[in-house]
Amino acid sequence: MTEDPVKLYVIVMGILLCVLAYVAVDSYRQANEYERALLRAPTEAKQMKELATEVQALVDQLDKSDMQRGKRTLIDNVARRMGIVHSDFDQSQARIGRGIKGREERYKFSFGSGRSSTPLTRDRVAQFCQAVERQSRGILKTIEVRLSRVTGKGVDDPGKAEIVTGDTYKGYVVFGLRVVD
């Protein structure tokens, strides 16, 4: 390279000075980031404490509800306690609309269509929906109720008679909840 040791010394010292300057600037930048993080720490700790309280409240809500064995089991147990037999019981999941990350779990409870499943009164359907929401501590919500009046011997078709004589219905109830991913 060069035979002059002074030139070599100056070049090596220049390179070391550049490395030292880079290390000093990077350390200064990291120290500023740590200082900003230290200043943010009390407010973030407060937020984490509030979020932990909310999570604990949800855990307590789940513990108090009868959902330890699952949502489908809870609906089935409420129906069994009320003496309601289902003709069909489906579970499905659907993505939530645009811009929201998550999914919606739906449980469709059909009644009154099968041999063992008898039609219900509107009042009985309302009591069933209310019981499911109460037993789940508000986690499961009634999303949709579809009822069709049952016609048969001595009962006029819907809309034909002026007085409703039969107050039994077949149909389905959809319970659900939203789960954020």
CATH of the domain at 172: 3.30.70.60
Global confidence as pTM:
0.60
User: Among residues 23, 45, 64, which one ends one of the domains?
Assistant: 64
Instruction: Compute the mean pLDDT over every residue in the chain, rounded to the nearest whole number.
Output: 82
Question: Is residue 88 classed as helix, strand or coil in its secondary structure?
Answer: strand
The answer on 167 and 102 residing in a single domain is yes
The region, left, alpha or beta by phi > 0 then psi within -120 to 50, assigned to residue 112 is: left
pLDDT tens digit sequence for 48-68: 999 999 888 877 777 766 666
pLDDT tens readout for residues 139-164? 888 999 998 887 665 445 555 655 55
**Based on the domain organization, do 54 and 94 belong to the same domain?**
no
State the total domains in the chain: 2
Whether 58 and 82 map to the same domain: the answer is: no
**One domain, residues 104 and 134:** yes
Q: Which domain holds residue 131?
A: 71-180
Is it the case that residue 16 has pLDDT exceeding 90? yes
Domain co-membership, 75 together with 154 = yes
**Nearest in space to 120 (alpha carbons), one of 171, 178, 165:** 171
- 82: closest CA among 113, 125, 143, 53? 125
Domain end point (choices 23, 42, 64): 64
The Cα-based distances of 70 to 76, 140, 165 in angstroms read: 10, 11, 39
Residue 28: the pLDDT is 95
pLDDT at 66: 65
In this prediction, residues 80-108 reach a mean pLDDT of: 79
58 and 91 inside one domain:
no
As a whole number of angstroms, the distance between CA 143 and CA 129 comes to 10
Indicate if the pLDDT at residue 109 is higher than 70.
yes
Same structural domain, 138 and 176? yes
Q: Check whether residue 155 and residue 95 sit in a common domain.
A: yes
Say if residue 91 is in the same domain as residue 13.
no
Q: What is the pLDDT of residue 95?
A: 66
Same domain, 83 and 51: no
